[in-house]
Amino acid sequence: MPDRHFIQSFDHVSIDILIVDDKPNNLRLLSTLLEREGYSVRKALDGEMAITAINTLSPDLVLLDIMMPGLDGYEVCKRLKDNPHTTEIPIIFLTALNEAFDKVKAFDVGGSDYITKPFQIEEVLIRIRNQVMLKLSEERMRHLNAELEERVIERTQQLQSANQQLLDMALHDMLTGLPNRALFMQELQGALDAHHQGNETFAVLFLDCDRFKIVNDSLGHCFGDAVLIHISQRLRSNLEPTDLLARLGGDEFAVLLPNILHSDQAIARTEALLQTFSHPFQIEGREIFLDASVGIVVGNKTYSKPEYILRDADNAMYRAKASKNHRYHVFDASMHQEALQRLQLEVDLRRAIEQGGLTLYYQPIVCLKTGRIVAVEALVRWFHEAHGMISPVDFIPVAEETGLIHPLGNWVLLEGCRQLRQWQVNQQVDESFSMSINLSVQQFHDPHLIDHIDQILQATQVRPQNLDLEITESVIMEGLMPTMNMLHQIKARQILLSLDDFGTGFSSLSYLHAFPFDLLKIDKSFIQRLDHTSSESVNLVPAIMAIAQTLKIQVIAEGIESLPQLRDLQRLNCARGQGFLFAKPMPPESLQPLLGVSLFNQPLSLDYSSTEVRSSRPT
Ligand code: C2E
Ligand code: CA
Ligand code: CA
């Protein structure tokens, strides 16, 4: 609807009216009248002329006589209405009262109104005015509509681009700007679909930076971020434009290589990509040497999901990382089999923990002066229905990786303490006899550990002085403050602490004084090398013993297998020993007869040197 302002601003001069009449008199009369009103007026004497005039310049209104030679008014009107350029022009028919005038037909062909002759000038002006107003308001409406539509389009575009931005953000890594895991998976899905439908081939590389964690931890996260950006840029510049490079997270990247049929091609591309790391990164004035390990999967029809491809590439990458000689590894089906087996192992282990499928064996720790058992080490055993005895060496890592180490470790603690308490109650052991329990790194960093220990000691009535927790050097190498805190909480309870496998890790005697250890277990590899006079262990073991003595830390020699080893250690005044020479780990009922007697009086096994640790079975 036209607004008030618009109606009042009605401007006659700008209104162009075409009068069509075959009678010049009529034309003149009407035009004079309208011009006087301020309209600008054009004239046509017949239908043809009218159409030509209109096509040349569209009028705002046509006053159209009906009865004319040639084209009559109805026909002119019809033609104008049929033409999209002229269809909007309002037409008022002029008709004499005495003529046969068909109103219905007039509206039918598209007329807007009609005026009968002779005219009453006021009527003419009002009808013209009405039509002009109508036309102007329609025009304005159309204009507003167009404007609105334009705005809608504009808004829609804005919305679309905002959506696109959001989508981009959701599919890209903020730090490096590279596609992220989600986008990579999407593209990989596409490649896999194309592979299943036709002959498109591809390979996936899973790249993980070596030593990045060290850089990040030692030089800070900002520096780490800068390193990642540099790495991503170098990787990108070593790839083809059609290759898709994505950052999966952390220091993990993935590459989708199109048109790879054989692993040889993928290997060649990988070797080229690894050139990225051949020279150091110059970042913030520092020179950083980095390297990477790559897992390779060549796409094949056995894959139904992109996730499986990435999983296998990830596995292959781990294989590469574990290998000393190779920086990449091509995934093969046997690895898949292994992965499945490992998965099954995890399922079985979970069940074993839940359903009491684990047992504890105990290995005597012997006083090297008297030969009496002064302590035992609890060693977990798993007898698998299908695979027989599985070594802790094989399933503890699985438990650590999957978090199962927590329920497992708690069970070992409880069962070990329960057994000790039973021996105490039966008076099979004296009150200094202790139970050694192995704690793995994850357990040690579990904030609930100390509560668990308290509960178990409480429940089993075992005195903390009779519990000995064995931890390896790796525990104390991982972050000092929380570790110290935990060690002191343990010590505050008077629980004993042993440093296990000493000599296998970062072994440094210099840090020993900083930690509250009661006992130090020299690793069996040292003890076993004692036999070889050329070995440096011959000197090392005495050195360790001497330092331990000044620190008032008692030493346990692990893995004593021969009498000469025992003699050497006795000569060095080593307090305690453990090893197949005295006894293998055994179930409690086998151990019981040995408690309280000197193993020196027992026939000691002399030839255990070839015994497999893994197959420690009941004796
Ligand atoms: P470890 O703590 O160093 O335990 C000593 C290992 O040396 C035991 O292997 C034991 O059977 C073996 N051993 C003892 N004497 C001799 C010997 O004279 N010669 C040789 N060659 N080996 C000897 P086992 O029972 O197979 O346990 C292996 C490892 O598994 C343990 O090494 C420990 O790290 C881990 N483990 C065992 N039980 C547990 C547990 O309950 N919790 C945790 N976290 N780890 C455990
Ligand atoms: Ca141990
Ligand atoms: Ca050990």
Per-residue pLDDT tens over the stretch 300-314: 998 999 999 999 999
> Cβ distance 246 to 179 under 8 Å?
yes
Report, at the CATH architecture level, how domain 181-331 is classified: 2-Layer Sandwich (3.30)
Indicate the domain borders of the chain. 4-143, 181-331, 342-601
Burial class, 377, CB count within 10 angstroms (exposed 0-12 / middle 13-18 / buried 19+): buried
- Which atom belonging to ligand 1 lies closest to the Cα atom of 561? 18
Cβ of 556 below 6 Å from ligand 1: no
Tokens 């401007």 identify what position? 11
What top-level class would CATH report for the domain 4-143?
Answer: alpha beta
Of 558, 608, 609, which is best to mutate to test ligand 1, by the most ligand atoms within 8 angstroms of its C-beta? 558
Ligand nearest to the CA of 502: 3
Task: Tell me, using a 6 A CB cutoff, whether residue 468 lines ligand 1.
Answer: no
81 φψ region: left (φ > 0), alpha (ψ -120 to 50), beta (else)? alpha
Residue 619: helix, strand or coil by DSSP? coil
Phi (first) and psi of residue 380, to 5 degrees? -75, 145
Q: What value, to the nearest 5°, has the Cα angle with vertex 177 and ends 173 and 178?
A: 75
Band of residue 72 on the pLDDT scale cut at 50, 70, 90: very high
Name the residue among 571, 594, 596, 592 with its Cα closest to residue 582: 594
Q: Prior bond to 118 cis, omega within 30?
A: yes
Interval 177-216: pLDDT, tens: 999 999 999 999 999 999 999 879 999 999 999 888 888 8
Closest Cα to atom 35 of ligand 1: 392
Give the pLDDT confidence score for residue 7 in this predicted structure: 46
Q: Are strands 467-472 and 434-438 parallel, antiparallel or unpaired?
A: parallel
Centroid of ligand 2 to alpha carbon of 539 (angstroms): 24
pLDDT for res 544: 86
DSSP 379-390: EEEEEETTTEEE
Contacts (Cβ under 8 Å, ≥6 apart) of 602: 594
Q: Is 434 in the pocket of ligand 1 (CB under 6 A)?
A: no
- 438, 469, 606, best to mutate for ligand 1 pocket (most atoms within 8 Å of CB): 438
Instruction: For 478-497, write each residue's pLDDT tens digit.
Output: 556 678 889 999 999 999 99
Topology of domain 342-601, CATH: TIM Barrel (3.20.20)
Residues 52, 58, 63: CA angle, nearest 5 degrees: 80
Q: Report d(CA 132, CA 139) in Å as an integer.
A: 10
Residue 44 near residue 50, CB atoms below 8 Å = yes
379 lines ligand 1 (CB under 6 A): yes
Q: Model pTM? A: 0.59
Q: 11-43 pLDDT, tens per residue?
A: 665 899 999 999 999 899 999 999 998 999 999
Mean pLDDT along residues 513-533: 87
Mutate to test the pocket of ligand 1, among 373, 390, 396 (most ligand atoms within 8 A of CB): 396
CB 127 within 8 A of CB 92: yes
Q: How far is CA 527 from CA 79, 132, 364, 412, 432, in A?
A: 114, 113, 17, 27, 26
Q: Does residue 416 have its Cβ closer than 6 Å to ligand 1?
A: no
